[in-house]
């Protein structure tokens, strides 16, 4: 279905509902089990799950979702493409830029971290669709908590660009502005020449000697936490 995404699992559907996703169908295999999950993990959504849950057979579930799921819960939602990430000036929080990410799970996990720490959005360069089902699984449905999109190029990207690389200045000595763009390179190749060229500053995350690298999600989490901690202290 064009413009629609499949949400797999109770927690993905839970977050989509909490953050106002336009959901067309909520499919469940076992209504009692689903409502028990809602009562224990999302009591604020118990009434909504009660009203919207559509009990289907395992064959019907797999036909829509493409496979089964341990929680027996899935949904069809509108892709929030119209909610463009804030690439212009005036952002109240940093924008995360992923430079040609390749691992779909990592991309989703970065979105989850960015949502949790209050980033203005997550944008990516490259050929990976940030709304791919595997990315949605990795974000636990938190695509709907902040703008997520893909950039064709770097034109129109406003705010100081702080790129992260092992050879940069120590993050602990830096203050990250609220309207910063935090740029992270791909898991294997790092930052592209294009992103390096627009970077106003290159920062590095502290790392013990002989440790070669951090996971992409860990790097984004530490950078955003540093921003939030310094902002609260100021």
pLDDT at 234 > cutoff 70: no
DSSP strand pairing (148-150 vs 121-125):
parallel
Q: Please tell me the pTM assigned to this model.
A: 0.91
pLDDT at 209 > cutoff 90: no
Tens digits of per-residue pLDDT, 139-149? 999 999 999 99
pLDDT (mean) for 98-109: 94
Confidence of residue 15 (pLDDT cuts 50, 70, 90): very high
The long-range contacts involving 170-176, CB below 8 angstroms and separated by at least 24 positions, are 170/203, 170/204, 170/206, 171/203, 171/204, 171/205, 171/206, 171/222, 171/223, 171/226, 172/206, 172/226, 174/201, 174/203, 174/226, 175/230, 176/94, 176/223, 176/226, 176/227, 176/230
pLDDT (mean) for 150-178: 91
């Amino acid at each position: 279905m064009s413009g629609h995404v499949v949400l797999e699992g109770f927690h993905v559907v839970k977050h989509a509902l909490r953050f106002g996703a336009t959901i067309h169908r909520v499919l469940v295999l076992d209504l009692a089990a689903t409502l028990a999950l809602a009562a224990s993990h999302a009591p604020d959504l118990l009434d909504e799950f009660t009203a919207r849950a559509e009990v289907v057979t395992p064959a019907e579930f797999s036909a829509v979702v493409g496979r089964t799921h341990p929680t027996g819960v899935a949904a069809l939602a509108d892709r929030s493409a119209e909610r463009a990430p804030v690439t212009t000036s005036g952002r109240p929080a940093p924008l995360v830029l992923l430079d040609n990410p390749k691992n779909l799970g990592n991309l989703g996990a970065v979105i989850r971290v960015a949502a949790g720490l209050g980033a203005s959005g997550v944008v990516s360069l490259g050929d990976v669709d940030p709304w791919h089902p595997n990315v949605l699984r990795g974000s636990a449905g938190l695509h709907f908590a902040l703008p997520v999109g893909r950039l064709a190029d770097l034109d129109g990207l406003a705010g100081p660009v702080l790129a992260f690389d092992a050879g940069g200045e120590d993050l602990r000595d830096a203050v990250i502005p609220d309207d910063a763009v935090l740029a992270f390179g791909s898991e294997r190749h790092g930052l592209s020449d294009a992103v390096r060229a627009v970077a106003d500053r290159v920062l590095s995350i502290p790392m013990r000697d002989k440790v070669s690298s951090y996971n992409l999600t860990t790097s984004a989490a530490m950078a955003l936490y540093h921003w939030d901690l310094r902002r609260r202290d100021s």
